[in-house]
């Protein structure tokens, strides 16, 4: 119906109907205004109740001990950075990814403590002895016929060291002469287990791999993967895992544009958390010498007997917010360049000997524009944000203009 037709038809309507319709409309308006006011009041009550009595936020466990962040390092030179033409070249087999649905992870206390002279205490030599004999057995040695020694200095060496300290006007620090490792030597193999429960295996003579394998420092990823398959088969007993998963990690370059990869194994597990623990702690690594021969292997088995509990962890998105806020640890000698330079994130445990607690962190790989090279190589610095919910951290790190 056109506009003019509508107006003409309106003139034919009885005014009584118009009046009645207007009265009904006013009643409806009044009714809706009354109900609208009641609804508004009810909404205010609901909002207030939600604010006073939140029910969507999960309650955090209250019986977990507080944790402290270790900001000191073992005194390593340089900073943790990785050179690559693109972030995609930096690879590993980390079982965690940003789609992982993990709400809590275990935290362990490091049982070793270091004094100002970097002398460790808290070692469990019984566990170290059990571990070194286990590794020897995996290598085909008979543990019952082996002699376990330590690296404590001889009496003659102690006297000489004491004289040197006295000549300098000081005394030998407490614990300086205590052993720090157990040793087994047999059949061209030397096994040394240190206080961190790392077994280092020296092969003498070094072991040559079949000619078809390229086991060198700068072998390609494909060649390294082939060597890993060979080692997995040849040293299955030493690896000692139900389901060994190869971790070919690295892909960064040196200043001569030579790319390198490393070989490790960890036990793949059905449970995500167990697999993350194995990836970070329980590992076996193999190393080549300058001539492409196997000369060294390491079995990592840190003491995780002191579990602090299963701690709620934050998301990688929340960790990014903390990173932007300056709540991070890093040895990078440049200021954080900004969110647009974040190129990759992964969840890992910091397992260094000087950590007070073995706890999960998000490691962000951040492109450092100040360090880009003329040949196109880029530097990616490592920035660490605690993955544990901040409620349980007594000293959340804050960047203060210095470098850790």
State pLDDT tens for residues 230-254.
999 999 999 999 999 999 999 999 9
What's the pLDDT tens digit per position in 251-302?
999 999 999 999 999 999 889 999 999 999 999 999 999 999 999 999 999 9
DSSP string of 87-125?
GGG-B---S--TT----EEEEEE---EE-TT--EE---H
Rounded to an integer, the average pLDDT of 333-349 is: 97
Tokens representing residue 396 in the block = 């959340």
What do you get for the CA distance between the two ends of the chain, in Å? 80
Q: How far is CA 262 from CA 55, 73, 228, 393, in A?
A: 49, 23, 9, 34
Whether 114 and 120 have beta carbons less than 8 Å apart is answered as yes
Give Cβ neighbours of residue 49 (< 8 Å, ≥ 6 apart). Answer: none
Closest to 349 in 3D by CA, of 95, 130, 152, 30: 95
At which residue do the structure tokens 């088969």 appear? 233
pLDDT category at 188 given cuts 50, 70, 90 is very high
What does the alpha-carbon distance between residue 79 and residue 81 come to, in Å, rounded to a whole number? 6
Q: What is the pLDDT of residue 59?
A: 75
User: Does residue 77 surpass a pLDDT of 90?
Assistant: no
User: Does residue 306 surpass a pLDDT of 80?
Assistant: yes
β-pair partners for 183: 149, 192
Rounded to an integer, the average pLDDT of 157-170 is: 94
β-pair partners for 342: 366
Percent of the chain residues past pLDDT 70, beyond the cut: 83
What does the alpha-carbon distance between residue 120 and residue 124 come to, in Å, rounded to a whole number? 11
pLDDT category at 4 given cuts 50, 70, 90 is very low
How many CA atoms are closer than 13 Å to the CA of 340, on its beta-carbon side? Answer: 1
pTM: 0.83
Q: What is the pLDDT of residue 399?
A: 80
Give Cβ neighbours of residue 231 (< 8 Å, ≥ 6 apart). Answer: 263, 286, 294
Q: How many other CB atoms sit within 10 Å of the CB of residue 84? A: 22
What does the alpha-carbon distance between residue 395 and residue 68 come to, in Å, rounded to a whole number? 6
Q: What is the pLDDT of residue 30?
A: 46
User: Does residue 164 surpass a pLDDT of 90?
Assistant: yes
What's the pLDDT tens digit per position in 8-62?
333 434 444 334 444 444 444 444 334 444 444 444 444 444 444 444 556 787 7
Q: What is the pLDDT of residue 10?
A: 38
DSSP string of 121-153?
E---HHHHHHHHHHHHHHTT--GGG---EE-PP
What does the alpha-carbon distance between residue 185 and residue 135 come to, in Å, rounded to a whole number? 12
Q: What is the pLDDT of residue 57?
A: 53
Rounded to an integer, the average pLDDT of 148-158 is: 96
pLDDT category at 78 given cuts 50, 70, 90 is confident
Whether 289 and 295 have beta carbons less than 8 Å apart is answered as yes
Q: What is the pLDDT of residue 38?
A: 42
Q: What is the pLDDT of residue 353?
A: 87
Q: What is the pLDDT of residue 14?
A: 43
Q: What is the pLDDT of residue 62?
A: 76
Cα 281–chain centre separation:
10
User: Does residue 171 surpass a pLDDT of 60?
Assistant: yes
What does the alpha-carbon distance between residue 69 and residue 386 come to, in Å, rounded to a whole number? 8
Rounded to an integer, the average pLDDT of 114-134 is: 95
Lowest-confidence segment of 9-13, 163-167, 189-193, 215-219 by average pLDDT: 9-13
- Per DSSP, the chain holds a count of helices (H) and strands (E) of 8, 17
Closest to 127 in 3D by CA, of 202, 196, 189: 196
Sequence-distant contacts of 148-154: CB under 8 A, at least 24 apart: 148/182, 148/183, 148/184, 149/182, 149/183, 149/184, 150/179, 150/181, 150/182, 150/183, 151/179, 151/180, 151/181, 151/183, 151/192, 152/177, 152/178, 152/179, 153/177
Rounded to an integer, the average pLDDT of 174-192 is: 96
pLDDT averaged over every residue in the chain: 87
Q: What is the pLDDT of residue 97?
A: 92
Q: How many residues does the chain have?
A: 404
Is 31 or 115 the better-scoring residue by pLDDT?
A: 115
Rounded to an integer, the average pLDDT of 89-117 is: 95
């Amino acid at each position: 119906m056109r506009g003019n037709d509508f107006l003409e038809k309106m003139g034919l309507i009885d005014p009584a109907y118009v009046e009645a319709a207007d009265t009904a409309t006013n009643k409806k308006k009044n009714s809706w205004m009354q109900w609208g006011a009641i609804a508004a009041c009810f909404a205010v009550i609901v909002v207030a109740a939600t604010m006073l009595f939140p029910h969507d936020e999960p309650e955090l466990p209250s019986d977990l001990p507080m944790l402290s962040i270790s900001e000191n390092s073992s005194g390593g030179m340089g900073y943790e950075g990785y050179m690559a033409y693109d972030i995609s070249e930096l690879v590993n087999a980390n079982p965690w990814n940003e789609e992982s649905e993990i709400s809590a992870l275990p935290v362990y206390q490091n049982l070793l403590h270091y004094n100002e002279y970097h002398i460790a205490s808290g070692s469990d030599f019984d566990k170290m002895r059990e571990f070194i004999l286990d590794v020897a057995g995996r290598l085909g040695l008979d543990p019952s016929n082996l002699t376990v020694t330590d690296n404590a200095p001889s009496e003659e060496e102690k006297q000489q060291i004491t004289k040197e300290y006295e000549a300098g006007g000081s005394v030998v620090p407490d614990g300086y002469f205590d052993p720090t490792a157990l040793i087994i030597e047999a059949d061209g193999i030397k096994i040394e287990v240190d206080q961190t429960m790392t077994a280092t295996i020296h092969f003498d003579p070094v072991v040559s791999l079949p000619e078809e394998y390229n086991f060198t420092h700068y072998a390609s990823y494909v060649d390294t993967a082939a060597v890993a398959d060979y080692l997995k088969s040849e040293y299955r007993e030493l690896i000692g895992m139900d389901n060994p998963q190869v971790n070919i990690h690295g892909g960064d370059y040196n200043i001569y544009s030579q790319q390198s990869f490393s070989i490790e194994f960890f036990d793949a597990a059905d449970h995500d958390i167990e697999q993350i623990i194995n990836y970070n702690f329980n590992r076996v690594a193999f190393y080549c010498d300058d001539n492409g021969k196997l000369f060294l292997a390491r079995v990592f088995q840190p003491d995780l007997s002191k579990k602090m509990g299963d701690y709620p962890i934050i998301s990688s998105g929340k960790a990014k917010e903390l990173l932007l806020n300056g709540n991070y640890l890093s040895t990078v000698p440049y200021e954080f360049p900004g969110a647009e330079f974040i190129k990759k994130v992964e969840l890992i445990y910091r397992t260094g000997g000087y950590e007070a607690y073995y706890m999960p962190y998000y490691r962000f790989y951040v492109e450092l524009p100040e360090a880009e090279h003329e040949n196109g190589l880029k530097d990616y610095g490592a920035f660490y944000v605690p993955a544990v919910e901040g409620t349980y951290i007594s000293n959340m790190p804050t960047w203060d203009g210095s470098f850790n």
